[in-house]
Structure 1
Amino acid sequence: MGDILEVDVNGEESFFLNKRIICSYSGRLSKLFSKGAKESRNLKVIFHDFPGGSESFELMARFCYSNGTVEINFSNISLLHCAAHFMEMDNSVGKTHNLLEQTEKSLDEVRYWTMSELLVVLNRCQDLLPNAGSSGILERLLDSLVGRLALTSEPSPCPSTSSSDTSVVRFSSDSRSTESLKNSISRATWWFEDLSVLNPDLIEMVVNLMVSQKFDHATVSRFLFFYQKSKFVCAPTSHKKRKIIEIVINMLYLLDQSSISFKSLFGLLRVALNLNIGKSCRNRLENMIGSRMDQATLDNLLVPSPPGSNYLYDVNLILRFLKSFLSGGIHQVPLTRLQKVASLIDVYIAEVAPDPCLKPSKFVALIVALPDSARDSHDEIYHAMDMYLQVHGVLSAEEKIKVCCSLNYDKLSSEVCIHLAQNTKFPSKSVIQALLSQKSKLKSILHDTNQPKSPSNFKESDCKMKDDDSEQILLYAGKLNVISENERLRAHLQGMQWRVMELEKVCEKMQTQMTKIMKSRSPTSTRSLPRLCS
């Protein structure tokens, strides 16, 4: 009875073994009983974290009772290797043929395994983490897997197709070229479905290894999107879905951003918003999207507000996008990209302006989020502001002034300024500011028209002028008869000068009337007009 050892394996099953036999193969148990134990009493060992549970322990015990022999194949090698590592069944026990050595030799043959056999072993390893990682078997299997993919996969045939959202790209009208492209893509992605059976932790290891071995980033990003969609179909809980999407986002963040489909990022965002993912992971996704805001569309930006919010669209999300877009500094962003984003944001502002729950501070924040250099005209901003003030008629005078202060009156067209001057929804300060801005423009035009160009130094760049209707007259010096055209130009300038003077009189008259109105509102006040919005 003294040689009987009871072993409780993870609470699953208890095994009654000969202590002498099992200790002769296990360094762990041998050291445990090295101080000796009373032979008259039964001994019991409890394992709470035995890798592979009772199935793995039974295979290990059979090895010990078979004088150190066991059949090792791809279906049990992961269990035997992790059990041997856990029980310290190596050369230290003095056995000629120890289990750890035998499994190591079998792993040396991994390069001869089929892909399906390799995936079977990896699947078994998923249940053995973290023991499979510490024993070294997982690293060897992953190296073999990624090495095979590197040999059989081909990078995307054209860099531009990597981040394209189109499903078909044609290099020429030749149907053979299209067929060749399809075959190339198929060869590069044949493993997508095979690897989708692995759990997120293993996928994270695989992708990290791919990145370190310079895999084609476009192919890796397509796989990650494929993996997320395929795993969501069978993921039973929101917790598991959250883990999947967080790992996918973290892995995408490692890749060259130009290789990732921008459209797919927004699809990922809409899924992530419903799963309440971690803050750091959400920031990474928003940074990836925000850095490429010039590729977005209005539909991309119209993201519904979070649950519990009373406003229609998630304005805070768009503001974070814009912050990411400018994170490298205004001067680091090309003007063309900046203007493209400004044009998109102007359309977005017009879309959210009718929202009765949109606060003035958020409305203004959208306007001033981009630098003034991003916009050549504020006409669209004015129209959106007009709509906002119409819907939010209950705003105080102070709130209206704060909203209107975000408008650049110098970048308003003459038509918009005339409309603003008659718009009762705007405060008096805004009307005066618009009039003063137009007066300044008229004086500038008048000054330019009083300085005619002589034919000798007449240049194309000097022939761009604005009349009171904001029309441009462009004269090409190389294509006109200087003598006849100079007389016509002089006549036109004289007529234009007369119209400018008339408009200036009207502007001064309107300014005088506004001054009287302001004084009539506070007859006892001797102060000058309020300071205009800068």
Structure 2
Amino acid sequence: MEHFFLDLEVDVNGEEVFVVNARVVSSYSGKISRLVGKSEGVALRLKVIFNDFPGGAEGFELITRFCYSKRKVIITPLNIFNLTCAAHFMEMENLSDLTEKSLQEVRYWSWHELLAALKKCQELLPRAGSLALLDKCLDSLIGRVASSCETSPSPSVSSSDGSGIRLSCDTRSTESLKSGAFRATWWFEDLVAFGTDLIQMLVKLMVAKNFDNGIISRFLFYYQKSRFASASADDKAKIIEAVVDMLGSLDLRCVSYRSLFGMLRVGLNTSLSQCTRDKLEGMIGSQLDQATLDDLLVPSPVGTSCLYDVNLVLRFLKSFLGKGVCCVPLSRLRKAGALMDLFLAEVAPDPRLKPSKFLALIIALPDSARDSCDGVYYAVNLYLEVHSGLSEDQKMKVCCGLTYEKLSPQALDHLTRNTNFPPKSAVQAVASQQHKLKSLLQDTSHATLTSPLLEAASGGSKQVVLYAKKFNLTDENEKLKAHLQGMQWRVVELEKVCRKMQVQMTKVMKSRMASHNSAKSVPRLCS
């Protein structure tokens, strides 16, 4: 049956109702043609409702102008995405062909026209995300940014020489343009207006094109800070989640460690997803040797008793060790060990820090991370002094974190007279010192030892007397001679310390002497 629809009412997303000629529009739109063809009977008016028309009323108006002008339409950077998305939605092949041809003009657009087109595009996401036009625009944008990093950017107009590169430098000073730092970052501010979806597409394409990861990471941190200025709490969480996800695709060696910590501190006050929090902590932990003490002093979450977030630091350490100790260079381990000694001294005076957590911090790193355990001893001494109510067993468990063989003679001497430590710990310290003496005496096999090692733990009082034979060495062996003499001196000194420890051990067993504290800086909790 023949249809005589003259008028077609089109409700576009509830924004506006358009009345158009059905025959005119259906001659260009396959979608309208099918809708009209499916209607039966004779009527003068048909109504169509679109709830997801791309570009809304503005987009549909562009379509009607195209139809009524008999395909005569001016395609500009401001309307090309609207026209392209609407053409796909309305199944208008003629219009699609025109927008496809316009893709060739992208390289001639000015920088500002390119930005305007992309801002319009993000209003049409995700529908516009699958368009070749978007890839063309992003590709052009990245090309211009890359070019500006290699050559000094300068304002220009759209050219017809084929290069088509124009940068948004119209308001920059000549002095700034000459700056290398400016050449690398001048585009940061221009892209802040883009939403996270578009930024993610942009960064993905940059990574695929081997763009400088350091510049990308700097932009992402700049983007996060700039967007935070006017964002709600929920939006802040979404921004951080998107930025962390993008940073994860970069080479972490190019990512600012300080900026990661700054983002973490900001993220603690937002409702970040657990997945994002784990990713961020993992990135920070993997570079823990670059941290400072202030970085680690993060306040505990609300509802927890400790002053500092010890669990967070333990997670950092787990990430730092990664697949195993053997995968971490010794130099990095030593840096992390020195940092942890400082952290232990800061958290030790916290009266609410449990012994199990304190011990976990001590043993989180392997022995190879420390040349000396004097720093650990200092922290344990502070902890036992503040937590004087612990039982002997609890104190011994905390002392299990000490490697006595790595304590200096001064620290061992102090330990044997320290009433904060349990007697068993002092016995272990004496045994450790004996072991040190044995090792040193074995190393001096070129000298004559007339007496065996004294057995301090069993109450022996024998002395170690070392007689140096006369060296019959040539001039070429003077260095060896000096080395051996130095070793002799060390053994004699250690012997003196051991004798002192014997005397003090007897006193410790009978009555605990008052401990004298070594002069060291007081942790913040004690100040």
For residue 209 of structure 1, what is the aligned residue in structure 2? 205
SS of residue matched to 1:300? helix
| Within-5 A mapping of 1:412-451 | 412-446=407-441, 451=446
- TM-score of the superposed pair, with normalisation by structure 1: 0.79
Offset of 1:438 from its aligned partner? Answer: 2.1
SS of residue matched to 1:211? helix
Offset of 1:298 from its aligned partner? Answer: 0.8
| Within-5 A mapping of 1:134-533 | 134-154=130-150, 183-235=179-231, 237-446=232-441, 451-452=446-447, 499=496, 502-503=499-500, 506=503, 509=506, 513=509
Offset of 1:400 from its aligned partner? Answer: 2.0
Offset of 1:241 from its aligned partner? Answer: 1.6
**Contact 2:54–2:89 (CA under 8 A) maintained in structure 1:** yes
Q: Write the distance in 2 (CA, Å) between the matches of 1:494 and 1:110.
A: 81
Identity of aligned residues (%): 53
SS of residue matched to 1:109? helix
For residue 61 of structure 1, what is the aligned residue in structure 2? 64
**Contact 1:89–1:100 (CA under 8 A) maintained in structure 2:** yes
Offset of 1:42 from its aligned partner? Answer: 4.1
Q: Write the distance in 2 (CA, Å) between the matches of 1:322 and 1:274.
A: 23
Q: Write the distance in 1 (CA, Å) between the matches of 2:502 and 2:339.
A: 38
Offset of 1:150 from its aligned partner? Answer: 2.2
Q: Write the distance in 1 (CA, Å) between the matches of 2:487 and 2:137.
A: 85
For residue 121 of structure 2, what is the aligned residue in structure 1? 125
| Correspondence for 1:22 among 20, 25, 45 | 25
**Contact 2:177–2:183 (CA under 8 A) maintained in structure 1:** no
| Correspondence for 2:102 among 92, 95, 106 | 106
**Contact 1:154–1:184 (CA under 8 A) maintained in structure 2:** no
1:368-396 CA distances to partner (integer Å, 9 max, x unpaired)?
A: 11011111221111111111112222323
Q: Write the distance in 2 (CA, Å) between the matches of 1:285 and 1:487.
A: 53
Q: Write the distance in 2 (CA, Å) between the matches of 1:349 and 1:493.
A: 31
* RMSD, aligned α-carbons: 3.4
- Count of residue pairs the alignment pairs up: 467
**CA distance change for structure 1 residues 14 and 444 in 2, over 3 Å: closer, same or farther?**
same
Query: Which segments of 5 or more consecutive residues in structure 2 lack a partner in the other structure?
Result: 153-174, 450-462, 465-470, 513-527
Letter in 2 for 1:321: F
| Correspondence for 2:73 among 70, 74, 80 | 70
Q: Write the distance in 1 (CA, Å) between the matches of 2:78 and 2:486.
A: 92
Q: Write the distance in 1 (CA, Å) between the matches of 2:115 and 2:99.
A: 17
Offset of 1:404 from its aligned partner? Answer: 1.4
**Contact 2:437–2:495 (CA under 8 A) maintained in structure 1:** no
Offset of 1:36 from its aligned partner? Answer: 4.0
For residue 169 of structure 1, what is the aligned residue in structure 2? none
**CA distance change for structure 1 residues 339 and 155 in 2, over 3 Å: closer, same or farther?**
farther
Between 1:190-199 and 1:417-426, the stretch displaced more is 417-426
SS of residue matched to 1:153? helix
**Contact 1:52–1:127 (CA under 8 A) maintained in structure 2:** yes
**Contact 2:426–2:505 (CA under 8 A) maintained in structure 1:** no
SS of residue matched to 1:45? strand
**CA distance change for structure 1 residues 127 and 392 in 2, over 3 Å: closer, same or farther?**
same
Letter in 2 for 1:428: P
**CA distance change for structure 1 residues 505 and 122 in 2, over 3 Å: closer, same or farther?**
closer
Is residue 87 of structure 2 the alignment partner of residue 84 of structure 1? yes
Q: Write the distance in 1 (CA, Å) between the matches of 2:292 and 2:491.
A: 47
Offset of 1:480 from its aligned partner? Answer: 8.3
- TM-score of the superposed pair, with normalisation by structure 2: 0.80
